[in-house]
Amino acid sequence: MPGSLFRAVRGVAMLATLLVGPSLAAQQATGVITGRVTVRGTQDPVGDARVIVVGTAIAVFTNANGEYRINTAPIGRAQVTVYKIGYSSVSDTVTVSSAQPATLNLAMAQTRVQLSEVVVTGAVGNTERRAQGAAVATVNAEELAAQSPAQSFSQLLQSRVPSVSVNSASGTAGTSRRINIRGAASINLSNQPLIFIDGVRIVEGQPGLGVGGQSADRLNNINPDDIESIEVVKGPAAATLYGADASAGVIQIITKAGRSGTPRFQQRLSLESGSVDQNWTPPDNYARCRAVDTVASSLNPLCRGQALNTLVSDNPLVREDVFRVGSLTNMSYSINGGGQGYGYYFAVNNDRQQGTLPNNAFGRQGIRTNFNFVPNSKVTVNASIGIQQSELDAPQNDNNIYGYLGGAFLGTPLSRTDDGSGNDGWFGFNRGPEEIAAIETRLVTRGTTAGATVTFVPMPWFTHKLTLGGDLVVDEYTNYFPRNGRQAYAGLLNTGSNTQNRTNSERYTVDYNANARNTFGGGDWELNTTAGLQLISTRTNFLGSTGTGFVTNSNNVISSASQTSGVGSLTDVRQRGWIGQVQLGHLNRRFLTLATRVDEFSVFGSDVDPAVLPTIRGSWVISEEDFFQPMSNIASSLRLRAAYGTTGRAPGAGAALTTLAAAPSIIGTSSEAGAVPANPGNPNLKPETGKELEIGFDAGFFNERLGLEFTYFNKTTNDLILSRPLPPSLGFTQDPQVNIG
């Protein structure tokens, strides 16, 4: 781990040890709370509801019968609150003693508008949805999987969240889908959102494959069966707390975890298979016979003996029977259990997809373990680790002359031959489907994501939360054109060409915040004050090599090529953000939030000050006001919300630096290492600034039988980062990036 980040982590860890250690050693008198959670009106049990003791770190889950048990409740008066997606939260108080268990049964009402749902992403202080002035969408992945199993993370988001578009960049198995939240946020920089898994930011990206418009996607490595829910922060108004690189939005993936509480053990085995048959016929190619094609000596079987200008057709894809039956096979096994003070989740998966083209396949294997531990009423520890590997074989396709579709659709019947020589109806070089299938394009990705979150509540009004984690990814890319004597490819590719790239990416996350909650005015008013620090370090090491000219295809290691070349790069990016927030609430239905994040980013120009990113948000649950009650038969719940916030999009690594490019220095007949000016850099380069105004409401009608969410937003981006052309006479080989607008 980089030195400065290590020192920061060490300091935060020492602080956490000083704070948490005494609480672990201290023995506090505790009692037991038991009860049952049911549906109001029907008395049906509510399983997997989250039961917390307010002012402590205690959280347990109900079993399938709605029963719960808390063994470490503090002695005295305790407030118990129950949460579950699809229901309104419910709270009640109970007196706890060490003499005998206290019983508290609660009934929950089903609702379409989740005002009491706890929001994890982009929220500190009071994290109930009712207190959030900006819209944060939640996708219940478990519920969706029960209705229709998803093959990837992107499929879970497809058509699930308003203002979130998921578009396929290609139809081949294992390739990426583009996720855009509320349209484009930048012209020149990425419009993909930041991705977090259980509070740890992962290495996002869509590695290029060099096969036309197709690209890979690291999100495909995530097993959708491991996902419990997804939260989507849609724009700058809500994403301010994520800093100067979050204007395209933020997605938080929350994985499944064990259920502490009453003892339980569940296991699940899932087997799935399917196939995709060809249900369409590719279009034919047409041409009129030329005189040279109609003579008796012609090798063209379509035009030989035909009249001049006879219309003939050919379909290389059908003639060569290129398409095959696509298939998928998924296997997953998981166990989920827990008891008083602990819970665990363990899962393995092995998924395979075979594309409809001969050299297209995708495989994914993974292991995930999550564990939570509640040693006492003040401390909760949640830890997780996921290990994944994927293999993608991508065909040459999509705006690619070496591929099946480009070769077939651009071909002509006039190049058909009796013996299959030449183009034989295909476009371009002398090749057919065998030569196309022989091209190997393969990406193997191995990744490990690990993290731990410690919540410490030393006093009922004071909460600490610390998240530490890292994401390590290795991409191994191969692009191989075999040696051939048919001249099936362009130029030196026919002598055999092998490109191998290896990218090691590391991203570490440290996220700490402390929240103080105070009530006054007889308990009518609540003030939440939060301060926090987030550190993110990203290191990427790239090595690439190419070899051209092989004696035989059986020995295609790059060192055996007649010509070799290599390239490499190393980037190290640091981000540090300070967070401050004040949230005022009145009667738990009127909320005003003021927050600011101050960001320091190593990719900024040397003359640029830290970015200051303010936000203001308001929320009003108007349906709980007395004057609204006569309308409650129609509008059973109504919340008005508004937010204004600022965030940004940071420039790429090294964009602000003055750089040189390696070049040989030739003096006389000798050649030595040298350099030429590459990029003049820009010491004043700062992030793009995204600003957004959001206004909307959430409403439930006719006793929550109908729900409606409405949002109006106006998002603008200033200080766009674009390349400024330089006169060639200046001697630079690259154009610097500047802020425009």
Choose the weakest-confidence range: 45-59, 314-328, 542-556.
45-59
Q: How far apart are CA 50 and CA 88, in angstroms?
A: 12
Q: How far apart are CA 334 and CA 348, in angstroms?
A: 6
Cβ pair 313, 346 in contact under 8 A: no
Residue 482 belongs to a domain: yes
pLDDT by residue (tens digit) across 182-218? Answer: 988 888 888 889 999 999 999 987 777 777 777 888 8
Cβ pair 456, 467 in contact under 8 A: no
Give the model's pLDDT for residue 125.
Answer: 63
Q: How far apart are CA 510 and CA 601, in angstroms?
A: 15
Residue 33 belongs to a domain: no
Q: How far apart are CA 325 and CA 143, in angstroms?
A: 31
Instruction: Measure Cα distances from 290 to 280, 343, 475, 519, 529 in Å.
Output: 31, 77, 51, 91, 83
Give the model's pLDDT for residue 276.
Answer: 86
Measured from the Cβ of residue 338, the count of other Cβ atoms closer than 10 Å reads: 25
Residue 14 belongs to a domain: no
pTM as predicted: 0.88
Looking at residue 261, what DSSP letter applies?
B
Give the model's pLDDT for residue 292.
Answer: 95
H helix or E strand, kind and range, residue 568 = strand 563-586
Q: Read off the pLDDT of each residue in 121-139 and give the average, rounded to a whole number.
A: 78
Cβ pair 120, 51 in contact under 8 A: no
Give the model's pLDDT for residue 126.
Answer: 64
Give the model's pLDDT for residue 353.
Answer: 93
Q: Read off the pLDDT of each residue in 314-336 and give the average, rounded to a whole number.
A: 93
Q: How far apart are CA 223 and CA 351, in angstroms?
A: 9
Place of tokens 């630096």: 657
Closest CA to 233 of 136, 133, 160, 321: 136
H helix or E strand, kind and range, residue 270 = strand 264-276
Mean per-residue pLDDT of the chain: 88
pLDDT by residue (tens digit) across 436-466? Answer: 889 999 999 999 999 999 999 999 899 999 9
Q: Environment class of residue 705 by beta-carbon count within 10 Å: exposed (0-12), middle (13-18) or buried (19+)?
A: exposed
Cβ pair 368, 385 in contact under 8 A: yes
Task: Give the residues across from 566 on adjacent strands.
Answer: 545
pLDDT by residue (tens digit) across 23-44? Answer: 444 446 788 999 999 998 889 9
Cβ pair 664, 674 in contact under 8 A: yes
How many domains are contained in the chain? 1
Domain containing 528: what range?
111-278+323-402+439-740
Q: How far apart are CA 184 and CA 716, in angstroms?
A: 10
Most confident of the following: 110-114, 131-135, 736-740: 736-740
Tell me which amino acid residue 483 is: R
Q: Band of the pLDDT at 5, cuts 50, 70, 90?
A: very low
484, two tokens: 């051939």
Cβ pair 651, 687 in contact under 8 A: yes
Residue 421 belongs to a domain: no
H helix or E strand, kind and range, residue 154 = helix 153-157
- Asked whether residue 19 carries a pLDDT value surpassing 70, the answer given is no
Higher pLDDT, 122 or 298: 298
Closest CA to 585 of 134, 56, 126: 126
Task: Give the residues across from 637 on adjacent strands.
Answer: 700
Q: Is 183 left (phi over 0), alpha (psi -120 to 50) or beta?
A: left
Task: Quote the Cα angle for 540-542-548, to 5°.
Answer: 170
Per DSSP, helices labelled H in 188-323 are: 236-239, 291-294, 316-319
Residue 39 belongs to a domain: no
- 584-599: burial string, b at 16+ Cβ within 10 Å, e else: bbeebbbbbbebbbbb
Q: Read off the pLDDT of each residue in 323-327 and give the average, rounded to a whole number.
A: 92
Q: Read off the pLDDT of each residue in 527-539 and give the average, rounded to a whole number.
A: 95
- Asked whether residue 503 carries a pLDDT value surpassing 90, the answer given is yes
- Phi, psi of 480, deg, nearest 5: -125, 125
pLDDT by residue (tens digit) across 74-96? Answer: 899 999 999 887 788 899 999 99
Give the model's pLDDT for residue 64.
Answer: 84
Closest CA to 647 of 561, 738, 577: 577
Cβ pair 713, 692 in contact under 8 A: yes
Cβ pair 216, 176 in contact under 8 A: yes
- Asked whether residue 14 carries a pLDDT value surpassing 60, the answer given is no
Cβ pair 388, 364 in contact under 8 A: yes
- Asked whether residue 312 carries a pLDDT value surpassing 80, the answer given is yes
H helix or E strand, kind and range, residue 540 = strand 525-548
Q: Read off the pLDDT of each residue in 474-503 and give the average, rounded to a whole number.
A: 92
pLDDT by residue (tens digit) across 560-594? Answer: 999 999 999 999 999 999 999 999 999 999 999 99
Residue 307 belongs to a domain: no
Instruction: Could you list the beta-strand ranges (E) of 298-437.
Output: 311-314, 326-339, 342-354, 361-376, 379-393
Q: How far apart are CA 177 and CA 150, in angstroms?
A: 14
- Which residues are CB-neighbours of 57 under 8 A, at least 6 positions away? 374, 376, 377, 378, 379, 380, 455, 456, 457
CATH number at residue 593: 2.40.170
Q: Environment class of residue 163 by beta-carbon count within 10 Å: exposed (0-12), middle (13-18) or buried (19+)?
A: middle
Residue 331 belongs to a domain: yes
Higher pLDDT, 9 or 542: 542
Place of tokens 């290191």: 539
Give the model's pLDDT for residue 212.
Answer: 72
Secondary structure class of 338 (helix, strand, coil): strand
Radius of gyration of the chain (CA): 30
Residue 38 belongs to a domain: no
